[in-house]
A and B are shown apart, each in its own frame.
Chain A
């Protein structure tokens, strides 16, 4: 858990309590770390740290430090949250004896908001309000860290997209804006011609859907031939179309993703790839159109039930072959 404090007054050190005064708010952010190596972690949220004073200076206790030199420090998290606390130290000072355990020491709050405002050089009130809205803190902080003279136009576009659609993830939005040319390179000429007629927010939603489907496929499938013409490819196309349908509509998604397949065949059985992609695109759109409320789960279910199709008998480079057939994904 990462805790960010927003002090509303100057903090003062209280020597007797070895702590700080704190008035303001704090935001808790779950962070994923591998904590399996932390052996001194307890289920009540407390962590014990062993310090050794042998040799005259305090240092982390190693295996050779004897009991006479060891000091145990406990750090405990309040289950109810909040931003206050104190530290305690001393041999055997257990968490249950500590009525006011520390969370973390309040730290200086980096001026992310002001940095972002300075970087964007904008007087757009809606954007300024978004920056100063604490509900947007994490996205604002990411924007502040990313912002520089080269990308501040992208950041402004991303914030405008978020203002229009609160469901979009800031980092995904920035990613597709920064890599838009790569996405354009992936499109067929017909698809690109239609894409260029869309509003910026529609373009972002279409590309973010593609990115999310890609990221999930990367997470779930490993081999090249799963990702190209294999089960991963089937999954990605269905998820892409379902997500895009939920954001820009089934009709527009159908037009764009069908045009995506408009390419002259580049090798003898290339058309089998197109058949497979079109099939899975349709399944994805149908899943949304049939009222899906959990797209990812429903796509996974369709995948497990064999409602999607992949190509069997791929060549070593994953291309379709003479004997490739559309095969249900549960086989």
Chain B
């Protein structure tokens, strides 16, 4: 019964996340890359691609979003905002690159 409720709660969370076209990642495992694609709601162009990153890493990491690559290291907090009207899928990639540990919070989305 407990698992059943957990499943429902998880489904609701995913549903909300998908319909908002916004996601949040909490990263503390720097052993692998994370890739994702945001798919716009059909027939509705979005107007901006945005991510906000906050955290720290012991060496350089890179984030590529909508084809734009940025690198960070140490303690950082940055907001990426790009006017972009259209309906194309938007790719996201987190690459730990040279970093082996740290803690990062990234929220990315299309609006």
Contact = CB atoms under 8 A, between A and B. Distances in A.
A188 B48 CA distance: 10
A113 interface: no
A263 B81 CA distance: 8
A214 B47 contact: yes
A228 interface: yes
B111 interface: yes
Contact of B82 (A217, A266, A277): A266
B87 interface: yes
Nearest to B52: A185
Interface string B32-51: 00000000000011011010
B9 interface: no
A218 B45 contact: yes
A47 interface: no
B73 interface: no
Nearest to B40: A224
Count class of interface residues, chain B = 10 to 19
Given A185-B50, A186-B111, A317-B67, A273 B83 contact: yes
B38 to A, nearest CB: 13
- Which has the most chain B C-beta neighbours within 10 Å: A188, A232, A266, A267? A266
Contacts of B83: 186, 260-261, 263, 273, 277
Count class of interface residues, chain A = 20 to 34
A224 B48 contact: no
B97 interface: no
Given A182-B111, A266-B82, A317-B67, A224 B47 contact: no
A318 interface: yes
B74 interface: no
Contacts of A277: 83
Nearest to A188: B81
A228 B50 contact: no
A217 B45 CA distance: 10
Nearest to A229: B85
Given A182-B111, A185-B109, A318 B86 contact: yes
A39 B35 CA distance: 54
22 contacts: A182-B111, A185-B50, A185-B109, A185-B111, A214-B47, A218-B44, A224-B86, A225-B86, A227-B45, A227-B85, A227-B87, A228-B86, A263-B82, A263-B83, A266-B80, A266-B82, A267-B67, A267-B68, A277-B83, A317-B88, A318-B84, A318-B86
Interface of B: 44-45, 47-48, 50, 67-68, 79-88, 109, 111
